[in-house]
Structure 1
Amino acid sequence: MDILQLKYFIAIVENDLNLSLASKKLHLSQPALSKYILKFEEEENLKLFDRKNGRLSGLTFAGENFYNNAKVVVENHTNMLSELREQSKKITGTVRIGIPPLILTVLFTEIMAQLIINNPTISFVIIEQGAYELKKLLFLGEIDFAVILAPTELSPLLFEETLISRDELTLFMSVNNPLSELEKVTWYDLKKSNLAIFNENFMIHHLLKKKFESLKISPVISLTSGSWDFLLEVTRTSDFITILPSPVHWHFNFDDVIEVPVRDPISWKVLLTNPIKSHYSRLELYTKESIISYFNERKNIVPMEEWKV
């Protein structure tokens, strides 16, 4: 069983042996997760789980020991990788930050430039994905930080979350759209509208769906995309309405697209998330502190060699 499979095993235990819940959080199919466990039990000729009526009901004695040891191995593996990335004589290293494309453009353009310019020997790797993929990468330890929207549904026992920005979702539409004449739009005004929204890989999609369900309305979702600039562009020559964070209005120059607030808006809360660990590298601490200070205290980024914990 490799490190990845150890993480799968730990996930099953920490989700109360609920394979369905664990598979969703891992973004892995339930049959594939079951197969990993069965294969290991067969190869090692031991039982990790007690079963009742075909379902996992508890850990065997061997399973309990294996779980405790697996946590130690995964923690040591994480620390080993962190130490490998630690600074040597020169400050070097790599930080992997997962950021959805919209948040990257709207919030992180300036701060990423400052981090890179002030730290030329450090590699800041940006992974652009939707929230669901980023949560999977974060859980598997393939990125150091993820910038995602609340609610994250991440376990507070395993991950830290820090609020770094807060705004609200608003409507963007053609100036020729009848709703553009309103000072504020209600959600019920959208019942017969054609919407162009983010696809299912992005948290905004699910926040909107939840809002529509709570109000028992079913707007026509005519188009979904992972590209926020495409969603804006498509409103220019159609009656489509897109729903995006208000700060987007600073990032386009269309005279024929207008922003219209909505009553009882959906909050857009941006969080910096990272795994809870017993050991953090100096580079990880620097990156986290720099991002939080930049957003919450409006402090400019200082080079890591000048930074004090």
Structure 2
Amino acid sequence: MTLTQLKYLIAVVDNRLNISLAAEHLNTSQPGISKQLKLLEEELLATIFVRKGKKLADTTPFGDEVIFYARKILQDTNNIGLLGQQLSSVDEGVLTIATTHSQARYVLPDVIKTFKLEYPKVKLELKLGSASQIKEMVQTSEVDIAIATDLLELQRELVLLPAYNWYHAIIAPLDHPRKKDFKRLTINRLAKEPLVTYAFSLEPDTSFSETFENAGLKPNIVFAARDADIIKTYVNMGMGVGVIAGMAY
């Protein structure tokens, strides 16, 4: 087993099991990748992929385990390569952070300001996305760290450090006809309201969707956006009741 074989394996997986795309991405030949993957399976005495003819259709349960450890090995190898750079230039380089729009706007400005005062030579890059997009950026080592919520499913693969607790805030226009009822608002009552909230709230396994699912309810989302300010704009228009991060209230 070689690092090259593991690199080819991950490239194929990240390119939707398309060997041609993986070869193009790695600037190598398709037959070369196919041969190395076959040698890897022969060495492991098990199949990693489900094949339909010459095409890869899916990964096997065994293959999923191999892919998990292959990512970890490649990430650790990359980290070893960075050690020398870090020792020679502790306060220089580029730090790439994946985060959400709300975190970038309402939480990180003061943090980044303090960081830049302490490490003025370090260049910071922010990459914004939803929880699922951030997850992919971390898994593919596109970023150094991620600051986000709803990433607990990655606990097996990454080091997760709790930073702070946050909560959802319910917002509505001042002239909302049932504004007084909001002080006694329940999840059952909220499910009956037209909701304006984040686009990623529509994704499964988020705290938002799980809260309604655990109560046996389905939220009535009439409008979704990635940015809290956009949500607030449409709430003010009377489109519905808003559910946003408390930090953006």
Q: Which residue of 2 aligns with 1:50?
A: 46
CA distance in 2, matches of 1:142, 1:84: 18
CA distance in 2, matches of 1:148, 1:123: 20
Alpha-carbon offset, residue 160 of structure 1: 0.9
CA distance in 1, matches of 2:6, 2:131: 23
- Residues 68, 167 of structure 1: alpha-carbon distance in 2 compared, 3 angstrom cutoff: closer
Code of the aligned partner of 2:123: S
Matched position secondary structure for 1:143: coil
For the 8 Å contact 1:98–1:127, the answer to whether it is kept is yes
For the 8 Å contact 1:169–1:243, the answer to whether it is kept is yes
CA distance in 2, matches of 1:73, 1:53: 23
How many pairs are equivalent? 224
Matches within 5 A, 1:21-100: 29=16, 31-32=17-18, 42-44=34-36, 46=39, 48=41, 50-51=46-47, 56=60, 58=62, 74-84=75-85, 87-88=88-89, 91-100=91-100
CA distance in 2, matches of 1:178, 1:87: 63
Code of the aligned partner of 1:42: S
Q: Which residue of 2 aligns with 1:237?
A: 237
Matched position secondary structure for 1:238: coil
Code of the aligned partner of 1:50: A
- Residues 92, 203 of structure 1: alpha-carbon distance in 2 compared, 3 angstrom cutoff: farther
Matched position secondary structure for 1:142: coil
Structure whose residues are more often strand by fraction: 1
TM-score (norm 1): 0.60
- Residues 75, 164 of structure 1: alpha-carbon distance in 2 compared, 3 angstrom cutoff: closer
- Residues 233, 71 of structure 1: alpha-carbon distance in 2 compared, 3 angstrom cutoff: closer
- Residues 162, 216 of structure 1: alpha-carbon distance in 2 compared, 3 angstrom cutoff: same
RMSD: 3.8
CA distance in 2, matches of 1:120, 1:152: 32
Alpha-carbon offset, residue 199 of structure 1: 0.9
CA distance in 1, matches of 2:70, 2:167: 45
Q: Which residue of 2 aligns with 1:120?
A: 120
Q: Which residue of 2 aligns with 1:294?
A: none
CA distance in 2, matches of 1:214, 1:57: 29
Q: Which residue of 1 aligns with 2:169?
A: 170
Matched position secondary structure for 1:133: helix
TM-score (norm 2): 0.72
- Residues 244, 201 of structure 1: alpha-carbon distance in 2 compared, 3 angstrom cutoff: closer
Alpha-carbon offset, residue 36 of structure 1: 6.2
- What CA deviation, in whole Å up to 9, does each residue of 1:238-285 have, x standing for no partner? 141111122322xxxxxxxxxxxxxxxxxxxxxxxxxxxxxxxxxxxx
CA distance in 1, matches of 2:170, 2:70: 51
For the 8 Å contact 1:132–1:202, the answer to whether it is kept is no
- Residues 143, 76 of structure 1: alpha-carbon distance in 2 compared, 3 angstrom cutoff: same
- Residues 50, 40 of structure 1: alpha-carbon distance in 2 compared, 3 angstrom cutoff: farther
Alpha-carbon offset, residue 67 of structure 1: 10
